Amino acid sequence: MDAELDKPGPDAPLLELRGIVKQFPGCLANDHVDLTIRKGEIHALLGENGAGKSTLVKIIYGVMKPDAGRILWNGQPAVIASPAQARALGIGMVFQHFSLFEALTVAENVALGLNSARQREGLERRIAEISARYGLPLAPERTVHDLSVGERQRIEIVRCLLQNPKLLIMDEPTSVLTPQEAQKLFVTLRRLRAEGCSILYISHKLEEVRALCETATIMRLGRVVAQCAPAEKSARELAELMIAAKLKEPDHNAKPAPAGPPRLVVNRLTIRSSQPFGTDLKDISFSVAGGEIFGIAGIAGNGQSELMDALSGETPAGSPANILLDGAPVGLERPAARRRRGGCFLPEERNGHGAVGPMTLAENGFLSAHVRGALQRFGLINARRTREFAARVIHAFDVRATGPQAEARSLSGGNLQKFLVGREVLQKPGVLVISQPTWGVDAGAAAAIYEALARLAATGTAIVLISQDLDEILLLCDRIAVIAAGRLSPAMPVQEASLETIGLLMGGAPEAQQDAAHALPA
């Protein structure tokens, strides 16, 4: 009977998974998962971090082998033993966590994903053409270790588009795009669908899933728990299906405007980037009052990492007065000194920069909280207080981990991010600078992070939120500015900021700068 079902026909799905099982020590990642993707369909795969989505798509792409179950491709049984076999079938994948070699150039990394010498002919020219066509700026000769997180994701997208795939798996593909560029990508994806290409689309941006995808499969704890047409559900309903709970919506936008002196002042900050292909900061000025959340939007690679390094003290400013923290000139002070004055900082890259993977959560908590958390005495680590601090973070932020002694690398991305945000928030900073707080994080973890930031602002902390996610900036922030090519636009009250203006500012349009200036309060 199965043989009869497996006969290919004109209506056979492009890809069918039947009863896929994948188990790791102590974790059943995929529990008899069924998934059907039809030809010419844009199909969303939704679920919170740890739901089993990443494991499932790695099985489809040949990175992992299932312990049980069957894979059918065009109605025929298939064994996908490697990514090369997946690409030969016509499967391309854009990973959320990049499969790139940092010592190689953009072009060399793209070449590694192509199966034949013929596909590599004229590669640099083709990369430039694809980059320009889809609004994903890339210089083929640049070395990956010099690129921002967002720029690295562009390499993965371009590499897949060069292969003309029959099935394109996309994991958070719009996280580095302006709204205008995201719409251009959607036009491209719809054109690919019309030409018969199927797309498996993974995103935590539920409104874009509703706009783009015909079908959604929702996973929770390794199982498929629902299938629906996203357009027939609200984003909140989709999120609640993912987490099996009601979402609590923050109400901080109803709070009165912050009053009182600014807690952070940046005055004409100009810094040359230490990276050969980095972005210099040019005459950046802004201030943030206690109780205010100030949003800085922009496309990756426009000076965000340089600004974060300058604010945290990893890169010194030109003079002490370029940065004032509660009135103290700290432009030349290092991170530890700024933390003693009440500053806390969380960079965008959680793996390797925000946290050290092989170290325990207690040890990672100590890395930034030893100053404000009093976790050391006479130059020695207070092991008990360090464990207690990590335990408080785990409890307060519902971090799914075995305890303070769990290694950071054992946590899912969302749980590690919740721990890192909690590590900074529980230090009760006077000023918090946080970059990409919910990058790659599911709806439930994002809601918890948003609520924590809102509560922190309500206590009088000044927060600088650097993010490429316009939805979270518009949800959380009181004022917004846009960084492009190392310059910061005039700040606008978030209620007066339109998506069109923000998108144009992100692209560096001069007319948008004028619109932003007109939005300044009299």
Name every residue whose Cβ is closer than 8 Å to that of residue 499 and which is 6 or more positions away in sequence. 179, 470
Total count of residues recorded for the chain:
522
SS3 category, 493: strand
Q: What one-letter code names the amino acid at 123?
A: L
> One digit per residue, pLDDT tens: the chain, 522 residues?
344 444 555 678 999 999 999 998 878 999 999 999 999 999 999 988 778 898 999 999 999 999 999 999 999 999 999 998 998 899 998 876 677 888 899 999 999 877 677 778 889 999 998 888 777 788 999 998 877 666 777 888 888 888 888 999 998 787 666 677 678 788 888 988 988 899 999 988 888 999 999 999 999 989 999 999 999 999 889 988 888 777 665 554 445 555 568 999 999 999 999 887 788 999 999 999 999 999 999 887 789 999 999 999 999 999 999 999 999 999 999 999 999 999 999 998 888 888 999 999 999 999 999 888 788 888 889 999 999 999 999 999 889 889 999 999 988 777 898 999 999 999 999 999 999 898 767 777 788 889 999 999 999 999 999 998 888 888 899 999 999 989 999 999 998 888 788 878 887 655 445 555 554 443
DSSP 39: T
What is the predicted pLDDT for the residue at 120? 80
pLDDT at position 251 is 53
The beta-strand segments (E) located in 347-456 are 376-377, 380-381, 431-435
What is the predicted pLDDT for the residue at 413?
A: 77
Report pLDDT for 447: 84
Handedness of CA 365, 368, 373, 376 (dihedral sign): positive
- Domains recognised in the chain with CATH numbers: 2-243 (3.40.50.300), 260-342+430-522 (3.40.50.300), 351-428 (no CATH)
Is 428 strand, coil or helix? Answer: coil
Dist CA 155 CA 140 (whole Å): 9
| Cα–Cα distance for residue pair 453/472, rounded to 1 Å | 11
Residue 45 burial by Cβ neighbours in a 10 Å radius (0-12, 13-18, 19+): buried
Find, among 166, 185, 169, the residue nearest to 177 by Cα.
Answer: 185
Cα–Cα separations (whole angstroms), residue 139 to 142, 144, 174, 177, 220: 6, 10, 19, 17, 39
Given a contact cutoff of 8 angstroms between Cβ atoms, the answer to whether 228 and 199 are in contact is no
Instruction: Decide if 339 contacts 372 (C-beta within 8 A).
Output: yes
